[in-house]
Amino acid sequence: MASTTPSQPQQINVADLDLQQLSDVRRQLEEELNHLTNSFAQLKQAQAKFKSCIENVGEVKPQNKGTTILVPLTNSLYVPGHLSDAENVIVDVGTGYYVKKSRAQATKYYETKVEYIRTNLDTLQETIQKKQENMSYLVNVMQAKLQQSQAQSSKV
Amino acid sequence: MSSKSVFQEEKNPRGIPKAPFIANVEEYLGGPDGAVETPLKNFQDAIAKSRKYRYMDANLTQRRKGLEDKIPDIRKTLHMVEFLHETREGKNKNDDLEDDLSDEENSDNPKKPLITTFELNDTLFAEAELEDTDTVYLWLGANVMLSYKLTEAASLLRSKLDLAEASLKATIEDLEFLREQLTVMEVNTARVYNWDVKRRRERRLAGEVKKDG
């Protein structure tokens, strides 16, 4: 039975591989799957962070301008104060650049980021699924082979 | 033959037992005819001791890392508090000079309020104006935050910093001492084992000679 593994760089005939090679391939697939799942989790984390940034920007509203807030100066030092600028926030856009944006701009910026991560997550999800299918297919073939070889050795 | 428990002899200032170096294995085991069981038991003691040492080593390394992380934080906070204090001192001096002019509460002239950018989130900062107050709030951890006057805060942070630095120094010393003891223990184990092997071989040879002779 000639069956080829889907979506591999070279078309290998899985049935041709012996058990040892099959288990190698399986281990490789498992590693890739782990790696992908980790990346997925990290992306989800980053997305959650950006979502919370959107909320934070929402807090910097003009009506809060006069209220007393505790301003963090370091990890453990807070000083009472109040918002001086309720229209602009400063956003870290990476590689050491900080941009002063208006609240609306900042919200838009974060929402774009969230959207971008969402599309990445979707693609990643698909890839993970495909890999999982590959893996289960491979396991099936392995089991079939095992049975085959057992049947043969019992005949002998 | 004395299977003395050599492990309670000395301890360093913080209670890490010192590992004695067995200079003369034979003497330690009570002569060439010392029982075979004693060295074996001592190996096991030594191994257990090494395991304890290793565990303490891991502990101390962890503690040291924690301290090394905390100390720069405390330094920064102390620096900030001192800066705030100085700024206030500066303002108060100006106040004294113009005392007769302005009896009203804090109006513009001597007051230059501090504008600062603070962190709302990992990538998000906002601007705020610090109130001119002599009270600061310190986050002490474990969901506890207390308010302190500037001077009290400064002295508290200073003492915390000193404590942390002393603790770090002690931990590093302990680590070094521990490594030494671990090595000594391992060397002991190796020597006792080798000596035992040698002795068995000699006994075997002596036995064969006797048979032949």
Q: In chain A, pLDDT over 70 holds for what percent of residues?
A: 90
pTM flag (> 0.90): no
Whether the Cβ atoms of residue B140 and residue A75 lie closer than 8 Å to each other: no
**Chain B interface disruption, residue of A71, A83, A85, most B CBs within 10 A:** A71
Q: Tell me, what's the pLDDT at B128?
A: 87
Q: For chain B, what's the residue count? A: 213
Q: How far apart are CA B169 and CA B210, in angstroms?
A: 61
- What is the ipTM score, two decimals? 0.70
Residue B152 lies in a domain: no
B124 in contact with A at a CB cutoff of 8 Å? Answer: yes
Residue B154 falls inside a structural domain: no
CB contact under 8 A, B123 and A56: no
Looking at the 3D structure of chain B, how many domains does it have? 1
Residue B194 resides in a domain: yes
Q: 3-state DSSP call for residue B149?
A: strand
Residue B136 sits at the chain A interface (C-beta within 8 Å):
yes
Determine the average pLDDT of the residues in B47-76: 90
B139, containing H or E segment: strand B135-141
pLDDT band at A48 (very low <50, low <70, confident <90, very high): very high
- Cβ B73–A75 below 8 Å, yes or no? yes
The predicted structure's pLDDT at residue B162: 95
Domain membership flag for residue B196: yes
Which of A28-37, A97-106, B38-47 shows the lowest per-residue confidence on average (mean pLDDT)? B38-47
For chain A, positions 109-148, list CB contacts with chain B under 8 A.
Answer: none
Q: Using a pLDDT cut of 70, give the percent of chain B over it.
A: 77
Domains located in chain A, CATH noted: 18-142 (1.10.287.370)
Domain limits for position B185: 3-21+33-98+162-206
The CB-based long-range contact list for A79-83 (8 Å cut-off, 24+ gap) reads A79/B84, A79/B130, A79/B131, A79/B133, A79/B136, A79/B137, A80/B130, A80/B131, A80/B133, A80/B135, A80/B137, A81/B116, A81/B128, A81/B129, A81/B130, A81/B131, A82/B128, A82/B129, A82/B131, A83/B126, A83/B127, A83/B128, A83/B129
pLDDT digits (tens, 9 = 90+) for A117-136: 999 999 999 999 998 998 88
- Indicate yes or no: CB of A53 within 8 angstroms of CB of B124: yes
Task: Measure Cα distances from B49 to A84, B52, B54, B89 in Å.
Answer: 62, 5, 9, 58
| Total Cβ atoms within 10 A of residue A26 | 16
In a domain, residue B201? The reply is: yes
Residue B137 resides in a domain: no
Q: What is the mean pLDDT of residues B62-72?
A: 93
Is there a domain that residue B110 lies in?
Answer: no
- pLDDT value of residue B35: 62
Report residue A130 as tokens.
């495909």
Confidence of residue B102 (pLDDT cuts 50, 70, 90): very low
The pLDDT, as a whole number, for residue B7 is: 44
Say if B63 falls within a structural domain: yes
Model pLDDT for residues B141-170, shown as the tens digit of each residue: 899 999 999 889 999 999 999 999 999 999
Interface check for B149 against chain A (CB to CB < 8 A): the answer is no
The answer on pLDDT for A137 being more than 70 is: yes
The total number of residues shown for chain A amounts to 156
Q: Which two tokens stand for residue B39?
A: 């060295």
What pLDDT was estimated at residue B105? 40
Residues of B in contact with A75 (CB under 8 A): 73, 76-77, 139
Q: At what angle do helices B150-212 and B37-97 cross, to 10 degrees?
A: 170
* Whether B116 contacts B130, CB under 8 Å: yes
The amino acid sitting at B8 is Q
* pLDDT tens column, B105-136: 433 444 567 888 888 888 888 888 888 888 88
pLDDT, tens digit, 9 for 90 and up, residues B179-195: 888 888 888 888 888 88
Show residues of chain A in contact with B124, CB under 8 Å.
Answer: 53, 56-57, 89-92, 106
Structure tokens at B71: 């100390």
**Position with higher pLDDT, B106 vs A93:** A93
Q: What is the pLDDT of residue B29?
A: 66
Q: Do B129 and A89 touch (CB under 8 A)?
A: no
